[in-house]
Amino acid sequence: DIDGLQVHGTPHLAIVAVGSDKVDVFRVAELMSTKGWVPGLTQRPKGLHRMMSLLHAPSQDAYLADLRTAVDAVRGEASKSSSLKATY
């Protein structure tokens, strides 16, 4: 439900990947890391992934709020791009 992001594939287990054709998701990852999150990156397709389990449930609302804020911030940066590289 975050404008500009879409889920990659059809997640069946605890790892969910998202990407975007509207914002630089690696730049989103950089902003998320400033909030203390450790986003995983995927190459093809370019995206972020997050493992979710019962241990992560208490942080879900905070994560999604920070993700929404980061996407909105990147949308407003137009000229900045990330220097991150994915290895997966």
User: Does residue 8 contact residue 17 with C-beta atoms inside 8 Å?
Assistant: yes
Mean pLDDT value across the chain: 92
H-state helical runs in the chain: 25-34, 60-77
- Tell me whether the omega of the peptide bond preceding residue 45 falls within 30 degrees of 0, making it cis: yes
- The tens digit of pLDDT for each residue in 6-17 reads 999 998 888 999
Torsions phi, psi for 47 (to 5 deg): -170, 180
Residue 56 banded pLDDT, cuts 50, 70, 90: confident
DSSP structural state of residue 46: T
pLDDT of 86 above 90 = no
